[in-house]
């Protein structure tokens, strides 16, 4: 029989049982939470490793593509630098050529002017004079042109790619900046017949005839010039006429007209460039495509590495 004194002991036992159950339950919950945390940590760690590996691969791809871009950019810079250096060399060669010719002509009392920027040796009216509307050369002009031709022969020989009628391969093998063309340019003043259209037509013919007369006189006294050729094996000396379109003096008086009736010798250089500008443009397009690919990889990596 249960006595009155046994009831508190039973209540105390029930209390401890309840507390024990609660502690066990809390411990169980804690263990579950710890397992969940551990599982999440493992999943997070796996994701971190996956993302790290993904980003490492992307960085390697970007590094390789960046290296290719740098290499192509350096090639472009070197090619452009080579083009500039070749053009600068050609300009320097032309300056020396013009200065040499002028100095030799001055020693023979032939007055000429040089335009270094445009590569022009200008035969002033003191050297070669034309009467209005005429293209024939008087005796003093022919004498001076003969001496000019001999000076040209001595100087131009140093800048011609090849000489004579030999194979063109010898011309192609020429190294450095050489002469492409010497244009014997004829010019007129603005005067002529009253009708503007007819005056223009005649002045175009007149300027070409003056250039042709000078050209023939030069070659008559210095036939060696005919055999001097450029890198393509073509004759260097040629002619062109410009009518009154390129005056060197402005105004409408006899002194101005006399200055504009003239012969210019224009020296065009052939720069030795082994790289074609089209190759540089193609390389530039390749770099642009690579830069676009680099941006595309960056966008793709954002999606792939999530």
Question: What domains sit in the chain, N to C, each tagged with a CATH number?
Answer: 96-275 (3.30.1330.60)
Q: What is the pLDDT of residue 252?
A: 87
The pLDDT of residue 203 is 94
8 A C-beta contact, residue 112 and residue 123: yes
Contact status, residue 124 vs residue 262, Cβ threshold 8 Å: yes
Nearest to 218 by CA among 134, 159, 156: 156
Radius of gyration of the chain (CA): 44
Look at the chain and count its residues: 306
Predicted local distance difference test score (pLDDT) of residue 251: 87
Residue with tokens 């002045």: 203
The per-residue pLDDT string of the chain (306 residues; one tens digit each, 9 = 90 and over) reads 444 444 544 444 444 444 444 554 554 454 455 555 555 545 455 566 666 666 677 667 767 777 777 777 777 777 777 777 777 888 888 999 999 999 999 999 999 999 999 999 999 888 898 888 999 999 999 999 999 999 999 999 999 888 877 566 677 767 777 899 999 999 999 998 888 899 999 999 999 999 999 999 999 999 999 999 998 889 999 999 999 999 999 888 888 988 999 999 999 998 755 556 677 777 777 777 777 776 666 666 556 655
């Amino acid at each position: 029989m249960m006595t009155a004194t046994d009831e508190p002991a039973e209540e105390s036992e029930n209390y401890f049982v309840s507390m024990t159950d609660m502690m066990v339950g809390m411990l169980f919950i804690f263990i579950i939470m710890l397992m969940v945390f551990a599982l999440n940590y493992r999943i997070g760690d796996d994701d971190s490793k996956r993302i790290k590996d993904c980003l490492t691969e992307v960085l390697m791809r970007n590094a390789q593509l960046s290296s290719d871009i740098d290499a192509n950019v350096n090639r472009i810079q070197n090619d452009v630098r080579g083009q500039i250096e070749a053009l600068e060399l050609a300009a320097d060669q032309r300056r020396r050529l013009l200065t040499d010719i002028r100095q030799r002509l001055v020693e023979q009392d032939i007055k000429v002017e040089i335009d270094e920027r445009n590569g022009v040796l200008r035969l002033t009216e003191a050297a070669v004079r034309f009467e209005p509307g005429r293209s024939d050369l008087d005796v003093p002009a022919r004498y001076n042109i003969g001496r000019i031709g001999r000076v040209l022969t001595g100087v131009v020989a140093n800048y011609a790619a090849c000489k004579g009628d030999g194979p063109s391969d010898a011309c192609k093998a020429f190294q450095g900046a050489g002469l492409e063309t010497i244009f014997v340019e004829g010019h007129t003043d603005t005067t002529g017949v009253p009708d503007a259209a007819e005056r223009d037509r005649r002045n175009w013919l007149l300027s070409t005839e003056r250039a042709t007369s000078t050209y023939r006189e030069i070659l008559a006294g210095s036939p060696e010039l005919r055999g001097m050729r450029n890198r393509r094996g073509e004759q260097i000396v040629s002619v062109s006429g410009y009518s009154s379109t390129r005056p060197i003096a402005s105004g409408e008086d006899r002194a101005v007209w006399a200055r504009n009736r003239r012969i210019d010798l224009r020296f065009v250089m052939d720069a030795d460039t082994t790289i074609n500008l089209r190759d540089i443009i193609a390389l530039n397009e390749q770099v642009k495509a690579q830069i676009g690919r680099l941006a595309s990889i960056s966008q793709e990596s954002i999606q792939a590495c999530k």
